[in-house]
C-alpha cells in the first residue's frame, strides 16, 4: 500500500508543479508487424489446407486418378490475462497537495500500453528459437527447415548465415522470397513491403541509405540503386521494445499471418477497501499473440 511515509514530499507546498512523471510516448509499434483485432472466445484455432499440384498424363482410355486435398495440423492459441493494481491510503490522498496520488488510472493505462508493446516485441525476439511462439509445423517463426504439409523437402525464411541490414542482406532476403513455395512445393508470389528493425541507429541509417538513395550506397562506382528501384514504397517499423537490437525482418503484409487479438480490452476499475479506507485502482486485460503460417516473413538473427 502507498502510505504517507513514502510520499511525505507531497504534503508540503513549494515543490515545482512539474514532477516529470510522464513523457511523450511513441505510437504503438506492435500493429506494424502483428495483425490486430479482437476475439470473443478464450482460444483461437486455425488449420492450413492445400489442394492438388499437377495433372497426370493420360493414355488412351486410361482412367482418371483421384487425389484428396490435404489438411495440415491444427494450431491453437489461448489468451493470457494481465493485471496490476495500485493501493493508496485515504490519508495519503487527502494530504497530497499536488494531486499526484490520484494518478493511478493514468499510470495503469500507461503500463497496459507498455505491456502490449513489450509482449508484441517478444514475438520478434522469439522468432528464431520458437521457445514460446510456434507455427503450424511446431517450429520457430523464422527458421531454415520449415516443412510442407503435402510436399517433400523443406523451405527457409531465415537468412543463413545471418547478416545485418545491408544491400547484401536485402539481396539475400529477396532470394528467399523469390524461391518461396506453397504447401505442394509450387512457387508462389511474395515480396516484402515492410522492414522491421531494432532500436539501432546504425540500422536506421542503413535503411535510409538503402531505400532512400538514388545511387547504390556503400560503393564508389556511383551506379543506380537497384534495390530502391525494385522497392520504392517499403514501410519502416522500428521495434524499440525488443531485446535484440540487430535482428531484422522483412514482411509481406498480404501474407502476414501473425496476430495480436484482444479478448478483453483494458478495464480500469476503482474501489475502496472497507477496513482500511484505502483507494484501490486496478487494470486488467486479456489478449493473445500467435502465428500460423510463417510465409510472408523472412528474418535475420544478426548479432
Instruction: Report d(CA 28, CA 116) in Å as an integer.
Output: 8
Cα angle 171, 173, 179 (rounded to 5 degrees) comes to 105
| Per-residue pLDDT at 191 | 97
Contacts of 301 (CB under 8 A, 6+ apart): 127, 128, 142, 158, 159, 162, 244, 247
Each residue of 6-44: pLDDT tens digit? 666 556 666 667 666 677 889 999 999 999 999 998 899
What number is the average pLDDT over the span 234-251?
Answer: 96
- pLDDT number for residue 25: 87
**pLDDT (average), residues 236-253:** 96
Residue 195 lies in a domain: yes
What CATH number is given to the structural domain containing 280?
Answer: 3.90.1690
Task: Give backbone dihedrals phi and psi of 122, rounded to 5 degrees, phi first.
Answer: -60, -30
Structural domains of the chain, count: 1
- Pairing outcome for strands 43-46 and 75-78: antiparallel
pLDDT at 297 over 90: yes
Residue 60 lies in a domain: no
What would the mean pLDDT of 127-144 be, rounded to a whole number?
96
**More confident site: 4 or 261:** 261
Residues 186-228: tens digit of each pLDDT: 999 999 999 999 999 899 999 998 998 877 776 666 676 788 8
Peptide bond into 109 cis (omega under 30): no
Count Cβ atoms within 10 A of the Cβ of residue 301 and give its class: 0-12 exposed, 13-18 middle, 19 or more buried: buried
Residue 188 is predicted with a pLDDT of: 96
In a domain, 151, yes or no: yes
In a domain, 7, yes or no: no
301 or 230: which leads in pLDDT: 301
> Which cell is 89 given?
491510503
Alpha-carbon torsion 263, 266, 268, 274, what sign?
Answer: positive
Lowest mean pLDDT: which of 55-59, 149-153, 176-180? 149-153
Q: What share of the chain is helix, strand, coil (3-state, %, to 5)?
A: 25, 25, 50
Could you give the CA distance from residue 213 to residue 167 in angstroms, rounded to a whole number? 12
Q: Does pTM surpass 0.85?
A: yes
Domain that holds residue 256: 30-50+75-300
Amino acid at each position: 500500500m502507498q502510505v504517507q511515509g513514502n510520499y511525505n514530499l507531497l504534503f508540503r507546498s513549494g515543490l515545482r508543479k512539474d514532477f516529470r512523471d510522464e513523457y511523450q510516448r511513441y505510437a504503438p509499434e506492435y500493429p506494424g508487424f502483428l495483425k490486430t483485432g479482437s476475439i470473443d472466445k478464450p482460444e483461437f484455432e486455425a488449420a492450413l489446407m492445400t489442394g492438388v499440384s499437377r495433372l497426370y498424363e493420360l493414355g488412351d482410355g486410361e482412367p482418371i486418378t483421384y487425389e484428396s486435398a490435404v489438411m495440415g495440423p491444427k494450431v491453437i492459441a489461448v489468451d493470457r490475462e494481465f493485471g496490476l493494481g495500485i493501493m493508496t491510503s485515504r490519508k495519503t490522498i487527502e494530504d497530497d497537495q499536488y494531486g499526484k496520488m490520484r494518478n493511478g488510472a493514468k499510470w495503469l493505462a500507461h503500463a497496459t500500453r507498455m505491456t502490449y508493446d513489450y509482449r508484441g516485441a517478444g514475438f520478434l525476439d522469439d522468432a528464431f528459437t520458437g521457445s514460446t511462439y510456434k507455427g503450424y509445423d511446431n517450429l520457430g517463426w523464422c527458421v531454415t527447415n520449415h516443412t510442407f504439409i503435402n510436399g517433400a523437402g523443406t523451405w527457409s525464411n531465415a537468412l543463413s548465415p545471418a547478416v545485418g541490414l545491408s544491400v547484401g542482406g536485402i539481396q539475400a532476403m529477396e532470394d528467399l522470397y523469390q524461391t518461396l513455395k506453397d504447401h505442394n512445393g509450387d512457387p508462389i508470389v511474395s515480396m516484402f513491403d515492410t522492414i522491421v528493425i531494432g532500436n539501432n541507429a546504425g540500422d536506421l541509417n542503413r535503411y535510409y541509405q538503402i531505400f532512400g538513395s538514388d545511387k547504390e550506397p556503400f560503393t564508389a562506382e556511383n551506379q543506380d540503386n537497384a534495390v530502391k528501384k525494385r522497392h520504392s514504397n517499403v514501410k519502416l517499423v522500428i521495434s524499440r521494445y525488443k531485446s535484440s537490437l540487430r535482428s531484422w525482418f522483412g514482411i509481406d503484409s498480404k501474407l502476414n499471418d501473425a496476430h495480436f487479438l484482444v479478448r478483453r480490452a483494458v478495464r480500469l476499475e476503482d474501489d475502496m477497501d472497507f477496513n482500511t479506507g484505502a483507494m484501490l485502482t486496478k487494470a486488467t486485460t486479456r489478449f493473445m499473440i500467435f502465428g500460423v503460417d510463417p510465409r510472408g516473413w523472412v528474418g535475420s538473427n544478426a548479432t
